[in-house]
Amino acid sequence: MTASDSSTQRTVHGSERATGVIDWPAVRQANRSCCCIARPSVVIVLQPTQDRPHPTEVLLCGHHFDHSRSTLRASRALAFSLDGEHLPIMTARPAGVNAAAVA
């Protein structure tokens, strides 16, 4: 399976679904997002930078994912559903992301 990642202008292959950085057992046990007390809906992988030379995962609720899209897209972040499927970061909410997942 491949997915087009319009935020980075590259193709994300099925083998990249979990990208080596995501700790899926920890993600599936997470009771809250990194941003608030809501359950996570999306796993974001922030690309390495000069100040942070490694990728970093962030768990976002649907609400904060919706409100962070332009910044995430500009930073070339990758988004994944909790099932490991690549989610292109675009203007409209991708199917399967629950924006109401806020407490």
In a domain, 76, yes or no: yes
For residue 51, what pLDDT is reported? 93
In a domain, 10, yes or no: yes
Residue pLDDT, tens place only, 23-37: 889 998 999 999 899
For residue 58, what pLDDT is reported? 95
Residue pLDDT, tens place only, 59-96: 999 999 999 999 999 999 999 999 989 999 986 555 55
In a domain, 77, yes or no: yes
For residue 2, what pLDDT is reported? 33
For residue 94, what pLDDT is reported? 53
What is the number of structural domains in the chain? 1
SS3 per-residue string spanning the chain: CEEEECCCCEEEEHHHCCCCCCCHHHHHHCCCCCCCCCCCCEEEEECCCCCCCCCEEEEECHHHHHHHHHHHHHCCCEEEECCCCEECCCCCCCCCCCCCCCC
For residue 99, what pLDDT is reported? 55
Tell me: pLDDT of 19 over 90. no
- Identify the domain containing residue 61 by its residue range: 2-87
In a domain, 18, yes or no: yes
For residue 1, what pLDDT is reported? 29
In a domain, 95, yes or no: no
Which residue has better confidence, 70 or 10?
A: 70
